[in-house]
A and B are shown apart, each in its own frame.
Chain A
Amino acid sequence: MRTAIVTGALVALIAAILFMGAGDPTGPNSYVVIGLSQGAVYGLVAIGLVLVYKGSRVFNFLQGEFGTLGAFAVFLMVQQWKVGLPYWACALIALAAVTIIGIGFERIVVRPLLNAPRITVLVATIATALFAIAMELLVFRPEPKILPPMVDSLFGKKGFEILSFTLEPQRFLIVLVLAGLAIGLGYFFSRTDLGLAVLATSQDPFATRVVGIGVERMSRFIWASAAFLGALAGILYVPLTGALTPGAMTTGILIPAFTAAVIGGMTSLPGAFVGGLTVGLVQSLSNWAANHYTLGDRLLQDIIKGAPDVALTLALLIVLLARPQGLLGKEA
């Protein structure tokens, strides 16, 4: 019920903005499209963050690097080694490789810390992310690399003109993937035995073990899924950024994605979806407003430095003050 209300409110808000900006070429309409498309990327990463949090109560700072590693894996096969396989096949191999890395991380780092305080695991994810960035720098060097998009056209179109803004096919694909994942994972955690087992593990590992569910197996499943989702986000998004650099997903996406996850509710997968879109919208519309409205004879951007960050912080504060568990969050 709450999901329907929040989603309905978001849709109504967007509709109101679009209505106000209708017919104005300098109005906010195209910025709504920018915000939603970018928000989809935040949502995609946020879903991975929420998955790990739901399953293990850990803020996973490694999530961005799963994405960067996935993008570099595709870069190696498509650009550097030119293995001759279709792009999608390279993407599948990259997804598998990063998923194995996720399993390895769980076995080597997380499993020994299973009974340690959660803050210890959090620090371990930070350390591993920094290690991964260092390795990327060592292997791939810091200069920007080119990673072409996976799809040049979708439904026979090379671009989708929406409200005077051209959306690349790959960005459109991200929106579709995000929506599919939010629905699919929502179903998984509420309707399947495996999903319920994952939730049970996060709530009370001892009780879960007593009823015969392997806590280690659940932990492995969670981290493998998180790595897969992170890699998927990186492979789909990095080609749209213009350049692939070490730590690209961590430095550019992880913080907004965390914000999205918190706004949506750290335990809610649909919340990650809604939170991602909210963050994207707030960023984009505040960008537009800062360069559109004046106070006296000065543009807002000259008065409020970093207007998008200020707006995002305000949005986060408002949500947390009104509902500390996030828009759609609840105890798992």
Chain B
Amino acid sequence: MNRSRILSLTLVFLFVAAGCGQKPGVAPPLAGGLPEGATVNAQGEVVDSSGEVIGTVDDLAGTTGGDLTGATGTTGSGTTGSSTTTGSGTTGSSNTPTGSGTGSNQPSGSESPAPSGPEPSGGDATGVTNDLIKIGSHAPLTGAAPVPSDSAQKGADIYWKWLEHNKESVNGRRVEAILKNDNYNPSQAVAVCKEMVEKDKVFLLSGLAGTDQIQACARYAASVGVPYLSAGVTTNGLDGLPNYFATTMTYADQAPMLADYIINKLGGADEKSGMLRFETPNFEDAHQAFIGAMQDKGAPVAYDRAVPKQAGSTEAQTVVQEMKTAGIENVFVLTSPVWFLQVLQAAKTQQYTPQWVGIGITMTFDTVATVGCRNGTLDKSKFFAPFPAWVDSDKYDPEYRQAVHAIYPDNNPQKRDGDDFVWLGYASSKGLASMLALPGKDLTRERFVYFLERARNLKTGILPPNSFTPDDHFGADQVHVNEAQCSVDNRWHTIQSFVSDF
């Protein structure tokens, strides 16, 4: 076969492949992300504001970059393309990943795993009965990154109650969620995890936020063979734990992305950038990753500052003075939210208004934006987050508000739609539901770990999709970008979604 015939055949193949992969009239508007006013319905279809189906989630998946909302807060597609809302149907879909659903409805989409090796049968089914799965969570309901306890409890419960409300279950079982306060303290985290394992007899544990607490509790869980899921925080002490799974990107993985973001999106190549962090070994991987990435991009960090976890107002004023004197224009903050608020207050007093950026979970709670906007210089700050902003929840899962209205009816307009803690709890539970369904009716800790290690592309449409392997328990590679919009409503707004590259 001569060269020209090979070339011709290749071109024909490419045209055919391109034609098969696109639906006329659909691909162009969705290639850059979710269009303005569009949402994803329970069937995984993308519908516009008039309710007309304009595509499917598959048309959105796989692309990267792009904006959900512009700087002015209006929606629109970005210049670099974007993967946006993926996954789907909270209810009604029967997208059972492992074929053992026994008639249950699975809440999220996923690709069928391809099990390798012997599938375990039986095992430890503590916390599982014929009609119930008991799970335990810990969160800082008090301490330096407080989550309101009533909202946190609602968040822990809402999705499971919503399933019951719709006469649905996880393979015939309802789920009971127990939530305990770790006080943003690793010792207390281990104590409450131990209590949930030994006294409450939970099937698995999960951690909402707080690096040191998650690490401490995950290590305890590993020592007693209990599956443990959390947001990705650090690999330090967690990498290699057989029962640990991170459902969002770790700080160390996000840090180089943040460096890209500063350089490519914020124009930081010619500006002075700095990093402000708490002095804990669990932030060291993220610290090194960020410093290295900035160095590689030819924009070495000009200010690298560690402060003790007990830092107070003195340290806040000191670092602000240092950064102002050094002319730092972009500041990556990796501290507790409460101390960050002190820094913002000090920055306001000193008329210091850098571009604040960061990663994490608790930083993007709306209470931080509300206080930071009014008392500090948070406006236009941009933070990576595993979950989209609460105000944008309708764009990702309209059923969330329906669930809140049905499960926690409240006539108070400010409480009617829940809050970001409820929203995060809903999203996390939705993801967990799809994971709990993987082993089918025969749910044991061993089978849960086995199937989760082989799960591919578990989607909620809210949190980043998860794919795990037996060697890699860190399952996410995408983030949302949330921006504090003080001039709009003192809340976080999502300006980019499901992004893995800048």
Q: Tell me whether A and B are bound partners.
A: yes
B-contacting residues of A (Cβ < 8 Å)?
25-26, 30-31, 34-35, 37-38, 41, 137, 141-146, 159, 164-166, 168, 240-243, 245-246, 252-253, 256, 280, 283-284, 287-288, 291, 299, 301-302, 305-306, 308-309
Answer whether residue B349 sits at the interface, using C-beta atoms and an 8 A cutoff. yes
A146 in contact with B374 (CB, 8 Å): yes
Shortest beta-carbon contacts, A-B, top 9: A242-B345, A142-B146, A242-B341, A143-B367, A287-B318, A243-B341, A242-B342, A306-B308, A38-B314
What is the distance, in angstroms, from A81's C-beta to the closest C-beta of chain B?
A: 17
Contact of B141 among A142, A256, A306 (CB under 8 A): A142
Residues of B within 8 A of A256 (CB): 312
What is the distance, in angstroms, from B10's C-beta to the closest C-beta of chain A?
A: 55
B308 in contact with A309 (CB, 8 Å): yes
Residues of A within 8 A of B346 (CB): 242
B371 in contact with A243 (CB, 8 Å): yes
CA of A141 to CA of B345 in the docked complex: distance in angstroms? 21
B374 in contact with A240 (CB, 8 Å): no
A142 in contact with B149 (CB, 8 Å): yes
Main secondary structure of the interface of B (DSSP, over half): helix
- With A142-B148, A165-B321 known, 19 other A-B pairs at CB within 8 A are A34-B318, A141-B148, A142-B146, A142-B149, A144-B367, A146-B370, A146-B371, A168-B349, A242-B345, A242-B371, A252-B313, A280-B314, A283-B315, A287-B314, A287-B318, A288-B322, A301-B305, A305-B279, A305-B308
What is the distance, in angstroms, from A36's C-beta to the closest C-beta of chain B?
A: 11
A287 in contact with B315 (CB, 8 Å): yes
Chain B minimum-CB-distance residue to A25: B325
* Most A CB within 10 A of own CB, among B319, B321, B351: B321
A166 in contact with B314 (CB, 8 Å): no
A-B residue pairs in contact (CB < 8 Å), sample of 7: A31-B321, A34-B321, A141-B150, A144-B337, A241-B342, A287-B314, A305-B308
Residues of A within 8 A of B322 (CB): 288, 291
What is the distance, in angstroms, from B499's C-beta to the closest C-beta of chain A?
A: 28
Residues of B within 8 A of A245 (CB): 146, 338
CA of A142 to CA of B141 in the docked complex: distance in angstroms? 7
What is the distance, in angstroms, from A331's C-beta to the closest C-beta of chain B?
A: 32
Instruction: Report how many A-B pairs have Cβ atoms within 8 Å.
Output: 111
Chain B minimum-CB-distance residue to A287: B318
CA of A207 to CA of B331 in the docked complex: distance in angstroms? 63
B371 in contact with A144 (CB, 8 Å): yes
CA of A284 to CA of B313 in the docked complex: distance in angstroms? 10
B313 in contact with A241 (CB, 8 Å): yes
CA of A256 to CA of B317 in the docked complex: distance in angstroms? 16
Contact of B349 among A38, A137, A166, A308 (CB under 8 A): A166
B314 in contact with A243 (CB, 8 Å): no
What is the distance, in angstroms, from B292's C-beta to the closest C-beta of chain A?
A: 16
Chain A minimum-CB-distance residue to B140: A142
Residues of A within 8 A of B326 (CB): 26
CA of A256 to CA of B315 in the docked complex: distance in angstroms? 13
Query: What count of chain B residues pass the 8 Å CB interface test?
Result: 45
B310 in contact with A31 (CB, 8 Å): no
CA of A243 to CA of B146 in the docked complex: distance in angstroms? 12
Answer whether residue B142 sits at the interface, using C-beta atoms and an 8 A cutoff. yes
CA of A20 to CA of B432 in the docked complex: distance in angstroms? 60
CA of A327 to CA of B156 in the docked complex: distance in angstroms? 54
CA of A328 to CA of B341 in the docked complex: distance in angstroms? 36
What is the distance, in angstroms, from B378's C-beta to the closest C-beta of chain A?
A: 11
Give 1 or 0 for each of B375-391: 1 = CB within 8 Å of chain A CB.
Answer: 11000000000000000
B148 in contact with A243 (CB, 8 Å): no
Residues of B within 8 A of A146 (CB): 370-371, 374-375
Residues of A within 8 A of B361 (CB): none
Residues of A within 8 A of B264 (CB): none
CA of A93 to CA of B330 in the docked complex: distance in angstroms? 43
What is the distance, in angstroms, from A297's C-beta to the closest C-beta of chain B?
A: 13
What is the distance, in angstroms, from A219's C-beta to the closest C-beta of chain B?
A: 32
Chain B minimum-CB-distance residue to A283: B314
What is the distance, in angstroms, from B406's C-beta to the closest C-beta of chain A?
A: 24
B338 in contact with A144 (CB, 8 Å): yes
CA of A299 to CA of B307 in the docked complex: distance in angstroms? 13
What is the distance, in angstroms, from B250's C-beta to the closest C-beta of chain A?
A: 23
CA of A252 to CA of B338 in the docked complex: distance in angstroms? 11
Give 1 or 0 for each of B291-330: 1 = CB within 8 Å of chain A CB.
Answer: 0000000000000111010101111111101100110000
A159 in contact with B314 (CB, 8 Å): no
CA of A98 to CA of B162 in the docked complex: distance in angstroms? 45
A35/B314 contact (C-beta < 8 A), A144-B338, A165-B350 known: yes
Residues of B within 8 A of A305 (CB): 279, 306, 308
CA of A287 to CA of B310 in the docked complex: distance in angstroms? 13
A243/B317 contact (C-beta < 8 A), A137-B142, A142-B142, A143-B367 known: no
Residues of B within 8 A of A25 (CB): 325
Answer whether residue B455 sits at the interface, using C-beta atoms and an 8 A cutoff. no
A34/B317 contact (C-beta < 8 A), A25-B325, A143-B146 known: yes
Give 1 or 0 for each of B461-487: 1 = CB within 8 Å of chain A CB.
Answer: 000000000000000000000000000
A141 in contact with B371 (CB, 8 Å): no
Residues of B within 8 A of A302 (CB): 306
CA of A283 to CA of B308 in the docked complex: distance in angstroms? 12
CA of A253 to CA of B310 in the docked complex: distance in angstroms? 11
Residues of A within 8 A of B313 (CB): 38, 41, 240-241, 252
Residues of B within 8 A of A240 (CB): 313, 345
A288/B318 contact (C-beta < 8 A), A25-B325, A143-B148, A245-B338 known: yes
Contact of A242 among B141, B148, B344 (CB under 8 A): B344
What is the distance, in angstroms, from A21's C-beta to the closest C-beta of chain B?
A: 12
Answer whether residue B147 sits at the interface, using C-beta atoms and an 8 A cutoff. yes
Residues of A within 8 A of B371 (CB): 144-146, 242-243
